[in-house]
Amino acid sequence: MSHHPIRGGFLLLYLQSNQAIIKMKSKITTISFVKLFLDDIRTPPDETWTLVNNVPDMILLCSENEVTHISLDHDLGDTDPDHSGYDFMCWLEEAVFLEKYDKYSFPDVKFHTDNPVGRNNMKRSLDHIHRMLLS
């Protein structure tokens, strides 16, 4: 059994599927790791991803889970006409600023959008996040 330090001084005992068995002081618990795929049309690459079609649900899932991977579309069509992938990136940027994530807990973020302007805006936001995490 290997032990690896993770956020908050916990010890990772071992990985099993998409879960980590961790030891917190004298208690052992399980945390599910989540991969989120924000899109209104496309399906996730495989069954390990959770499909989300609106920004409020993305924010909620990120707030309540240990998210390891995020893949974003920019334009969400009728499923969320008031928000875009960029709006989610703005929330993520604020969450990093408020120290809800650090360089160890921040998820791997990718963009699968076909919108070049939206991709550039989201990439700029991600670049800013990475600068904050490294400072």
**108-111: long-range contacts at Cβ-Cβ below 8 A with a sequence spacing of 24 or more?**
108/68, 108/69, 108/70, 109/69, 109/70, 109/71, 109/72, 110/69, 110/70, 110/71, 110/72, 111/71, 111/72, 111/73, 111/74, 111/85
Q: Does 19 score more than 90 pLDDT?
A: no
**3-class SS of residue 39:** coil
CB 50 within 8 A of CB 34: yes
Looking at residue 64, its pLDDT comes to 85
Q: Does 67 score more than 60 pLDDT?
A: yes
Q: Does 72 score more than 70 pLDDT?
A: yes
Looking at residue 113, its pLDDT comes to 98
pLDDT digits (tens, 9 = 90+) for 80-122: 999 999 999 999 999 999 999 999 999 999 999 999 999 999 9
* CA–CA separation, 90 and 1 (whole Å): 39
| All domains of the chain in start order, with CATH | 34-134 (3.40.50)
Sign of CA dihedral 97, 69, 44, 113: positive
* CA–CA separation, 98 and 127 (whole Å): 17
What pTM value is reported for the model?
0.78
Higher per-residue confidence, 21 vs 53? 53
* CA–CA separation, 86 and 122 (whole Å): 5
Looking at residue 29, its pLDDT comes to 52
